[in-house]
A and B are shown apart, each in its own frame.
Chain A
Amino acid sequence: MPHLHAAYNLARWLVRSEQDAQDIVQEAYLRAFKFFDSFKGDDARPWLLTIVRNTSYSHLEKNRSHATQFLALDEALDGISMEGSATLLNQLDNNPEAILARMDEQRFFHQALEQLPIEFREALVLRELENLSYKEISVVAGIPIGTVMSRLARARKLLLECLTRMQSGAIG
């Protein structure tokens, strides 16, 4: 069953739970099976990932009480990055390599990416882990191509900021 790893990886990053991700992938494949008639394109992967993505979002929507927790966290994070980020980011820009060198472990990146608001997490996973083009990402995430670029740029900066905060937390 090709694309199964891609489907699972996306769902797992979006809902942040192994069990839920499995349920979502199963549901998505059953839906894909039912609607395969409507698929006319050449490459099934973006099409399938779109279904996985939408299934994940409806799942999060359904379990809102669970999701609000995360949402609150997301918003808090978003708030910080909007207001306080100018100075922090400027410091970062001078030497992100140093931060990256110190945070040289998978678990830091795992933790940092899981904390990003879902739309940024989604963009990074599709681009950096699935190697989708801007055009494919715009289809899967349902946003214009121009937004894909700015969202990715912001997502990378947010991730770096997260790593920086984790680092200062670890030290302080």
Chain B
Amino acid sequence: MNCEQTQALLPAHIDGELGLPESIALEQHLQSCPSCRAELASQQALRAAIQKRTPYFNAPNQLENRIRAALPSAPAQPKENRQAWWRTWSWPQLGAAFTSVAAIVLSVSLYVATPSATDLLAQDVVANHVRSLMVDHLSDVASSDQHTVKPWFNGKIDFAPTVQDLTAQGFPLIGGRLDYLDRRPVAALVYHHKKHVINVYIWPMDKPQTRDVKTLSLQGYHLAYWSKDGMMYWAVSDTSQKNLMGLVALLQQQS
């Protein structure tokens, strides 16, 4: 390697982006060339100074809250549409099209109703699931070992979720994280199934009761929820309903 080639590759060398053969050739040239060595030292000094002295702007504290507040929450939309629908219709038109309107109102109200607490929670669960994927924040403790994941929750939440690795059954445990649902901190367990991520949220109920599994679908996600031994469970994934129920059945078996 000559001086010209070396000078051309110096920036990549400093950035640690050279392949091994080029690196070796370049090092060899540097051994024998004081002027290229001086150039290397200069560039390294400059890079170090830039890294050290260029200010890094951290996001202001309130920005995260602002974004969370602006994130779309699905509930309000159908209701608004319905109101807008009513407003744009005048009474004569309504009378003329009474039959169809009645049909529409009936189907819309059946579909929309007033969002129940469960619907709102389901929307929260889906939004939470999506966020966990979107911001690359699946797990705070990444481990397939239930004995690592379970103690991790100690001191972070005031209950002890049951943690079970189900790799043998086709649902490897990926890890766990602390999350926030239903206005309280909850444990989130992350399972994989054939490249799909399944989030399982667990928290203690205010009024302990046992309820059978119910399922619903929202925005293309399948959800299942049940309660057992005073704990509320919500599972959500984009995997098929059948696969999700497979995991649910396993989780219900655990003591």
Contacts and interface: CB of A to CB of B under 8 A. Distances in A.
A155 to B, nearest CB: 9
Tell me what chain A mostly uses at the interface: helix, strand, loop, or mixed.
helix
Interface string B12-47: 100101000000000000000000000101110111
A156 B50 contact: yes
A9 interface: yes
Contacts of A134: 12, 15, 17
A88 interface: no
Tell me what chain B mostly uses at the interface: helix, strand, loop, or mixed.
helix
A109 B55 contact: yes
Contacts of B46: 96, 100, 156, 159-160
A105 B53 contact: yes
Given A36-B133, A44-B134, A128-B50, A149 B57 contact: no
Interface residues of B, number: 38
Contacts of A96: 42, 45-46
Contacts of B76: none
Nearest to A97: B45
A49 to B, nearest CB: 12
B45 A44 contact: no
A21 B60 CA distance: 10
Interface residues of A, number: 50
A100 B39 contact: no
A33 to B, nearest CB: 6
B124 to A, nearest CB: 15
Nearest to A4: B59
Nearest to A157: B46
Interface in B80-98: none
Given A8-B58, A96-B42, A33 B17 contact: no
A50 to B, nearest CB: 14
A87 to B, nearest CB: 17
A130 B11 CA distance: 17
Interface in A1-52: 1-5, 7-9, 12-13, 18, 21-22, 25-26, 29-30, 32-34, 36, 39, 43-45, 48
Contact of B71 (A9, A12, A33): A33
A12 B60 CA distance: 11
23 contacts: A2-B137, A7-B59, A8-B63, A9-B56, A18-B60, A22-B59, A22-B66, A25-B59, A25-B63, A26-B66, A32-B134, A33-B130, A36-B130, A44-B136, A100-B45, A106-B54, A108-B53, A109-B49, A109-B53, A128-B50, A129-B56, A150-B11, A152-B11
Given A22-B66, A149-B17, 16 more contacts: A1-B135, A3-B136, A4-B63, A4-B67, A5-B56, A8-B60, A9-B57, A25-B59, A30-B67, A30-B70, A36-B134, A44-B136, A100-B46, A106-B53, A108-B53, A134-B17
- Of all A-B residue pairs in the complex, the 8 with the closest CB atoms, nearest first, are A44-B136, A8-B59, A153-B11, A12-B57, A109-B53, A36-B134, A100-B49, A9-B57
